[in-house]
Amino acid sequence: MNRLRNISLSLLAVIAFTSRIEAAEIAPGERRSGASFMSVETQAMQNDATVNPGMLWVLDGEALWTRKPVAGRACADCHGDASSMRGVAVRYPAFDDKLNRPVDLEQRVNLCRVDHQQLPPLADESRDLLALTALIGRQSQGMPIETGADSRLQAFIDKGRDAFMRRQGQLNLACTNCHDDNWDKRLAGSAITQAHPTGYPVYRLEWQGLGSLKRRLRNCMIGVRAQPYSADAPEMVELELYLMSRARGMASETPAVRP
């Protein structure tokens, strides 16, 4: 009986070991921000707040922050100055006690609107939602990403990691095939990068606009010809959570600029 137990335990160990090998994640010392793959011109655009186009959304966000709804309170009425949000965005997605699951920053803003402002939720990728998340994210610029420190998130991070490792779509590719195994290569001439979401919402030159991490993830899913997750799908938040947790310790760049 004991022997059988030992055999099954060592089998388990082998399985755990081999699954680790298959999924070769990027070593902490090798992690790079997407910014390091960009041209010096695009880096300069990101680093100069007077030319970073994402700052237009941040300015919009400042106006929204203090705007009082007809009934209810403005963001500033409870939170004070937006600078009070310093250190908040770098913890998201974060565990929500009431919902008993992780919520991303967009969902947190909308929960706040519904629960405390008597306002309807803002639409996915709407100008106002991007403006508020850009404003909140900007307050943490330069701070290390902390997402995933809460142990209640671990099961959700693991699910997101599984999704990252799972092949999908007509092209049958997993995120890991490009972003862990081939980040130093070029896909049709474009740098692949390591999928560290250090600057969302980002101003993407290809979009000519600001967009969330979810928009970027949908782009990739459509790229491999998979069915993209909807914005409020639990799988989407789990994937965001895994990606942010693998960027833990890297500096936040919001609002970043990307090609």
Partner 1 sequence: MVSRRRASTLLSAGVATLLLTVPVRASELVPYAVVGDAIPLPLAGAVGDASAGRAIVVNRIYTCLLCHSGPFTEQRFQGDLAPSLAGTGSRWSAGQLRLRLVDASRLNAATIMPSYYRADGLQRVGDAWLGKPILSAQQIEDVVAYLTTLQNPS
Type of residue at 33 = S
Pick the binder of partner 1 from 69, 222, 249, 259 (CB under 8 A). Answer: 222
172 binds partner 1, rule: CB under 8 A: yes
The torsion angles phi and psi of 152, rounded to 5 degrees, stand at -65, -15
User: Which of 53-61, 89-97, 177-185, 246-254 is the region at the interface with partner 1 (rule: CB under 8 A)?
Assistant: 177-185
- The residue within the footprint of partner 1, chosen from 171, 207, 230, 249 (CB under 8 A), is 171
Residues in the chain: 259
User: Is 196 assigned to a binding site?
Assistant: no
- Both tokens of residue 63? 């106006």
Cα gap 146→89, rounded to integer Å: 9
- Nearer of residues 72 and 234 to partner 1, judged by Cβ: 234
- Ligand-binding annotation for 78, yes or no, is yes
Closest CA to 199 of 26, 34, 30: 34
Query: Is 127 marked within a binding site?
Result: no
- The answer to whether residue 186 forms part of the interface with partner 1 (CB under 8 A) is yes
Give yes or no: 220 in active site: yes
Q: Identify the residue among 162, 177, 219, 248 touching partner 1 (CB under 8 A).
A: 177
The annotation status of 186 as a binding-site residue, yes or no, is: no
By C-alpha distance, which of 59, 105, 49 is closest to 256? 49
The residue among 43 and 168 lying less far from partner 1, judged by its C-beta, is: 168
CA 189 to chain centre: 25
| Sole binder of partner 1 in the list 74, 117, 169, 219 (CB under 8 A) | 169
What is the phi-psi region of residue 208: left when phi exceeds 0, alpha when psi lies from -120 to 50, beta otherwise? left
Catalytic hit among 220, 223, 232, 251:
220
Contact pick of 15, 187, 207, 230 for partner 1 (by CB under 8 A): 187
Burial class for 23, CB neighbours closer than 10 Å (0-12, 13-18, 19+):
middle
Burial bucket for residue 205 (CB in 10 Å: 0-12, 13-18, 19+): middle
Element (H, E) at 78: helix 75-79
CB 255 within 8 A of CB 58: yes
Q: Is 220 annotated as a binding residue?
A: yes
Positions touching partner 1 (CB under 8 A) are: 166-173, 177-178, 181-182, 185-190, 221-222, 225-228
- Pick out the residues of the known binding site for substrate: 216
| Binding-site annotation, residues for heme c | 75, 78-79, 112, 175, 178-179, 220
Active site residues: 220
* Bind-site residues: 75, 78-79, 112, 175, 178-179, 216, 220
